[in-house]
Chains A and B, each alone.
Chain A
Amino acid sequence: MIFDHKTIKKFSMIGSRATFGLVVYDLISEIDDLIVLTADVSTSAGLDRFRKNYPNNYIDCGIAEQNMMNIAAGIASENFNVITTTFAPFQTMRCLEQIKVNLGYMKNKVTMVGLASGLVLGPLGFTHCCIEDLSVIKSIPNINVISPCDTLETAKSVIASLKTNNSTYIRLTGGSNSQIVYKEDYNFEIGKPNEIIQGDDICILANGPMVANCMNAAELLKEKNIYPSLYNIHTLKPLDENEIINIILNSKIIFTVEEHSINGGLFSSISEILCKNGIFKKIIPLSIPHNYITSGSYNYMIKKLKLDPQSIAERILNETK
Chain B
Amino acid sequence: MEVSEFQMSKHESSNLEEFIERIKINILELALSAKENSSHFGGSLSTVEMIACIFNNFIKKNENNNTTDRHRFILSKGHGCLAYYAALCDLGYFNKKELTTFEGDGSFLLGHPVINRNKGIEFSTGSLGMGLGLGIGQAISLKLKNINKQVFVLIGDGECNEGSIWEAAMLAPNYDLNNLTVLIDHNKFQQTGSNEQIMNLGNLKDKWTSFNWNVIEIDGHNIDEINLSLKKSFPNQKPKLILANTTKGNGFSFSENNNDWHHRVLTSKNYDDAMKELLK
Known: A70-B136, A101-B130, A102-B134. A75 touches B141 (CB 8 A): yes
Contact A70 B133 (CB under 8 A): yes
Q: Which residues from A are CB-within-8-Å of B163?
A: 66
Q: Complex formed: what's the CA distance from A56 to B145 in Å?
A: 11
Q: Which residues from A are CB-within-8-Å of B124?
A: 101, 105-106
Q: Which residues from B are CB-within-8-Å of A74?
A: 133-141
Q: Which residues in window 113-148 of B have CB below 8 A to A?
A: 115, 123-124, 127, 129-142, 144-145
User: Does B170 belong to the interface (CB within 8 Å)?
Assistant: yes
User: Does B16 belong to the interface (CB within 8 Å)?
Assistant: no
Q: Which residues in window 148-191 of B have CB below 8 A to A?
A: 163-164, 167-168, 170-171, 175
Q: Which of B115, B137, B140, B142 makes the CB contact (< 8 A) with A106?
A: B115
Contact B140 A98 (CB under 8 A): no
CB distance from A263 to the nearest CB of B (A): 25
User: Does B68 belong to the interface (CB within 8 Å)?
Assistant: yes
Q: Which residues from B are CB-within-8-Å of A105?
A: 124
User: Does A73 belong to the interface (CB within 8 Å)?
Assistant: yes
Q: Which of A64, A80, A98 makes the CB contact (< 8 A) with B171?
A: A64
Question: What range describes how many residues of B lie at the interface?
Answer: 20 to 34
Known: A77-B123, A101-B127. A67 touches B164 (CB 8 A): yes
Interface-centre pick from A68, A73, A78, A106 (highest chain B CB count, 10 A): A78
CB distance from A40 to the nearest CB of B (A): 12
Interface-centre pick from B68, B132, B144, B175 (highest chain A CB count, 10 A): B144
User: Does A61 belong to the interface (CB within 8 Å)?
Assistant: yes
Contact A80 B164 (CB under 8 A): no
Closest residue of chain A to B127, judged by CB?
A101
User: Does A272 belong to the interface (CB within 8 Å)?
Assistant: no
Q: Complex formed: what's the CA distance from A225 to B144 in Å?
A: 61
Known: A62-B170, A70-B168, A97-B127. A76 touches B137 (CB 8 A): yes
Q: Which residues in window 51-102 of A have CB below 8 A to B?
A: 56, 59, 61-62, 64, 66-80, 97-98, 101-102
Interface-centre pick from A35, A68, A71, A105 (highest chain B CB count, 10 A): A71
Q: Which residues from B are CB-within-8-Å of A56?
A: 144
Q: Which of A64, A66, A72, A97 makes the CB contact (< 8 A) with B137?
A: A72
Q: Which residues from B are CB-within-8-Å of A78?
A: 68, 137-138, 141-142, 145
Q: Which residues from B are CB-within-8-Å of A79?
A: 68
Closest residue of chain B to A59, judged by CB?
B140
Q: Complex formed: what's the CA distance from A67 to B130 in Å?
A: 8
Q: Complex formed: what's the CA distance from A101 to B123 in Å?
A: 10
Q: Complex formed: what's the CA distance from A97 to B125 in Å?
A: 12
Q: Which residues from A are CB-within-8-Å of B131?
A: 70
Contact A71 B170 (CB under 8 A): no
CB distance from A160 to the nearest CB of B (A): 24
Q: Complex formed: what's the CA distance from A59 to B144 in Å?
A: 12
Interface size on A, residues (CB 8 A): 27
CB distance from B2 to the nearest CB of A (A): 34
Q: Which residues from A are CB-within-8-Å of B123?
A: 77, 106
Q: Which residues from B are CB-within-8-Å of A73?
A: 133-134, 137
Contact B136 A71 (CB under 8 A): yes
Q: Complex formed: what's the CA distance from A105 to B127 in Å?
A: 12
CB distance from A110 to the nearest CB of B (A): 10
Q: Complex formed: what's the CA distance from A61 to B167 in Å?
A: 9
Closest residue of chain B to A72, judged by CB?
B137
Known: A61-B171, A66-B164. A71 touches B133 (CB 8 A): yes
Contact B130 A71 (CB under 8 A): no
Q: Complex formed: what's the CA distance from A79 to B138 in Å?
A: 10
Closest residue of chain A to B151, judged by CB?
A74
CB distance from B168 to the nearest CB of A (A): 5
Q: Which of B140, B142, B145, B167 makes the CB contact (< 8 A) with A64?
A: B167
Q: Complex formed: what's the CA distance from A148 to B115 in Å?
A: 33
Q: C-beta contact mask, B201-237 vs A, less than 8 Å → 1, else 0? A: 0000000000000000000000000000000000000
Q: Complex formed: what's the CA distance from A78 to B137 in Å?
A: 8
CB distance from B194 to the nearest CB of A (A): 26
Q: Which residues from B are CB-within-8-Å of A62?
A: 167, 170-171
Q: Complex formed: what's the CA distance from A45 to B64 in Å?
A: 39
Interface-centre pick from B124, B134, B142, B168 (highest chain A CB count, 10 A): B134
Q: Which of B138, B144, B175 makes the CB contact (< 8 A) with A77?
A: B138
Q: Complex formed: what's the CA distance from A319 to B99 in Å?
A: 64
Contact B137 A70 (CB under 8 A): yes
Q: Which residues from A are CB-within-8-Å of B135?
A: 74
Contact A80 B141 (CB under 8 A): yes
A-B residue pairs, 10 tightest by C-beta: A74-B137, A70-B133, A78-B141, A67-B167, A64-B167, A74-B134, A75-B137, A71-B137, A66-B164, A74-B138
By a beta-carbon cutoff of 8 Å, the part of chain B in contact with chain A is 68, 115, 123-124, 127, 129-142, 144-145, 163-164, 167-168, 170-171, 175
Chosen A-B contacts, 29 in total, with CB atoms closer than 8 Å, are A35-B144, A56-B144, A59-B175, A64-B167, A64-B171, A66-B164, A66-B167, A67-B167, A67-B171, A68-B133, A70-B133, A70-B164, A70-B168, A71-B136, A71-B137, A74-B134, A74-B138, A75-B138, A75-B141, A77-B134, A77-B141, A78-B137, A78-B145, A98-B130, A98-B164, A101-B130, A102-B130, A106-B123, A106-B124
Sample of 7 further A-B pairs with CB below 8 A, known A66-B167, A73-B137: A62-B167, A64-B167, A67-B136, A67-B168, A70-B137, A75-B138, A77-B123
